[in-house]
Amino acid sequence: MTDTRQIDSVTDAAAARAAAARLAARHGVPALERARLAAALGARLRQCLAEGGTWRLTLGVRGTDSGGGALHAVLEPPPDASSAGEGTRWETTVPLPAADRPGGDSDSDMVPGDDPAALSQALMSADADTALVLDRLAEQEALVAFHRDELHQTNQGVLALHAEIDAAGRAQREAFAAERRARNEAENARRRLTFLADASAVLNTSLNHGEIVRRLPELLVPRYAAEVGIWLFDEEDDPHHPMTRPAATVRAARTGRPQYAADHPGGLRGVDDLPPSVLHPDRPLLCVPLLTHRAPLGVLTLSPPGERWDPDDAVMLIELTRRAGIAIDNARRFEHNRDIAETLQRALLTELPTTPGLSLAARYLPAAHGMNIGGDWYDAFHRPDGSLITVIGDVTGHGLHAAVMMSQLRTALRAYAVDDGSPGRLLTRLHKFLHRLQPNLYATAVIARFHPDESTLTWAAAGHPPPVLRLPDGRVRTLDAKPGAMLGIPLEQEIADHTEQVAPGSTLTLYTDGLVERRAEGIDPGIERLSAALGSFGPAELDTDLEGAADGILKPLLSDSERDDDVCLLLCHLQG
């Protein structure tokens, strides 16, 4: 079925448009597609009327290669308009529903061009299609509005999510920054505490206040101070120390409070701010008093390594200064007590007597560490019968108490020796005396007796290293006969005497354990070294220079020792 129309007026165009709509409706074309067909054809027909001439419209339904049907519309220009720019052929195809097939010819779809009723009916049908399209359009607009609202809400949610992510990112960055700051602060605190502990150990190791004063600037420069000055009040007369001092230093000495002199506030806890120093106007000064439990010792003046100190570093410096003051005070008190102890020790040592045919030489060396006073002692004195008593002993412990007990033992021995008594008897009486006087104090001793009319040596020992005897021919013997126990222990004992034949040229060596004992090897190797040193001298050396021989014995035995204990040595040489 085909319908061909000549179109040269508006009425013809309207009839053609209506015929196309009726044909599409007849064959079940959906209203939306009918409306699109009518709109497209109407727009093309208006263009044709504007161009003028007689156009030919062919409408028809035909089959397709796929077995279905299609409505076909062709609009051809007038024959004389083939060369015109606007006179172009137009055609369109609208697929029919699968249930519809092209049928036979029918005139029911034809719309007479001059029938107003038919045109009106076609127009009303077009309005129905348009209304249906508008309804569909309204549904689509409602759907678009719904999706627009959903999209808006989604966008709002996305924006809120982005805001939360940004806030979480900022919070995380702030947390990381706070963690870094906390880690840095903890590391700086650890560094300060480590330095404070190490510096305190260095200052407290020495018991020489001069060395502490010398080491303090070495610890601080250049890490915590560019320059360090130490003012000790009792060194005012020292020509090496300046007499002119910054006002902040003097104020710190008077008030006992740290002072900070600079052209800007220090902001340091517990520190008073002062104007810059006239002596040093170009640099800040931190003046900290060296305080002790009794009275200030002086003032430590520091200048910063940079423009100013970190407040925590300043707190650490103030604490270190406090510890330095205590260390200096302790060292001075130790030095004072040591001087007293050494004076007392020297006063308690005996001046050796002169005996015809017998030479004596003694040495006393205090321990290299500590109070330098102990219980080691030696003595030599004549008895009323003309014999010579020589003794060497060691009271346990160190300090003034040990020295006092040593002095009491020496005095008691001299008193007991007035009566006739052998060395063993004297040691027995000293044992009882010490046990009753000081039950918790012990001592060791060796007593040897020489008689000018006899060629024998009588000796006795109580818990002490054995004497060493050098014979005239250079051989050395250790007198290791069984000794008694230590003096003062809770034990009843009678200490036995021992007798040894001696000839002119013999040398008896009495000593304390500090000469031969070492921590890592005990006492026996030390006795062997002593014997070797004693046997290395010739008879002439001991006859002519016993004092030099004493020094010659001490030198090899003590060359590698730090002398943790006192050392006593007593040489008794029978002239050849």
| Three-state secondary structure string covering 283-326 | CCEEEEEECCCCCCCEEEEEECCCCCCCHHHHHHHHHHHHHHHH
Q: What is the pLDDT of residue 65?
A: 67
Per-residue pLDDT tens over the stretch 354-366 = 888 899 999 988 7
pLDDT average, residue stretch 142-151: 90
The pLDDT-based confidence of 235 (bands split at 50, 70, 90) is confident
Residue 399 banded pLDDT, cuts 50, 70, 90:
low
- Each residue of 456-473: pLDDT tens digit? 999 999 999 999 999 999
Which CATH number applies to 205-343? Answer: 3.30.450.40
Closest CA to 376 of 270, 260, 549, 517: 517
Q: C-alpha dihedral over 289, 290, 295, 297, to 10 degrees?
A: -110
Return d(Cα 575, Cα 553) in angstroms, integer.
Answer: 19
Summarised one tens digit per residue, pLDDT across range 161-174 is: 999 999 999 999 99
Is the predicted pLDDT of residue 346 greater than 90, yes or no?
A: no
Highest mean pLDDT (candidates 33-37, 109-113, 125-129, 336-340): 33-37
Output the pLDDT for position 343. 74
Amino acid at 540: A
The answer to pTM > 0.75 is no
Kindly state the average pLDDT of the residues 171-186: 91
Per-residue pLDDT averaged across 504-531, rounded?
Answer: 89
Structure confidence at residue 108 as a pLDDT band (50, 70, 90): very low
- What are the extents of the domains in the chain? 2-140, 205-343, 349-574
- Mean residue pLDDT across the chain: 85
Return the H-helix or E-strand segment holding 389: strand 388-398
Q: How confident is the model at residue 570 (pLDDT cuts 50, 70, 90)?
A: very high
pLDDT surpassing 50 at residue 480: yes
pLDDT at 370: 55
- Secondary structure percentages of the chain, helix, strand, coil, to 5: 45, 20, 35
Q: What is the pLDDT of residue 379?
A: 93
Can you give the pLDDT at residue 373? Answer: 66
Does residue 337 surpass a pLDDT of 70?
A: yes
Return the SS3 of 516: helix
238 pLDDT higher than 70: no
What confidence tier does 569 reach under pLDDT thresholds 50, 70, 90? very high
Q: What is the mean pLDDT of residues 151-156?
A: 91
Identify the pLDDT of residue 107: 46
- Report whether pLDDT(265) > 60: yes
DSSP letters along 426-457, please? HHHHHHHHHHHH-TT--EEEEEEEE-TT-SEE
Note the pLDDT of residue 34: 84
- Sign for the CA dihedral angle at 541, 542, 546, 551 comes to positive
Where residue 243 falls among pLDDT bands split at 50, 70, 90?
Answer: low
Mean pLDDT within 460-487: 93
Question: Cα separations (Å) of 64 from 7, 109, 433, 565?
Answer: 28, 21, 145, 127
CATH pick for 349-574 out of 3.30.1130.10, 2.40.10.410, 3.40.50.1400, 3.60.40.10: 3.60.40.10
The pLDDT of residue 106: 45
More confident residue, 120 or 281: 281
For residues 235-242, average pLDDT: 56
Predicted local confidence at residue 421, as pLDDT? 84
Residues 521-553: tens digit of each pLDDT: 788 999 999 999 999 998 788 988 999 999 999
- pLDDT confidence tier of residue 372, bands split at 50, 70 and 90: low
Query: Does 111 score more than 60 pLDDT?
Result: no
Query: According to the model, what pLDDT value does residue 428 have?
Result: 95
Which pLDDT score, from 0 to 100, does residue 16 have?
87
pLDDT of residue 104: 43
What does the pLDDT read at residue 220? 92
DSSP 481: P
Task: Kindly state the average pLDDT of the residues 258-271.
Answer: 88
pLDDT at 1: 62
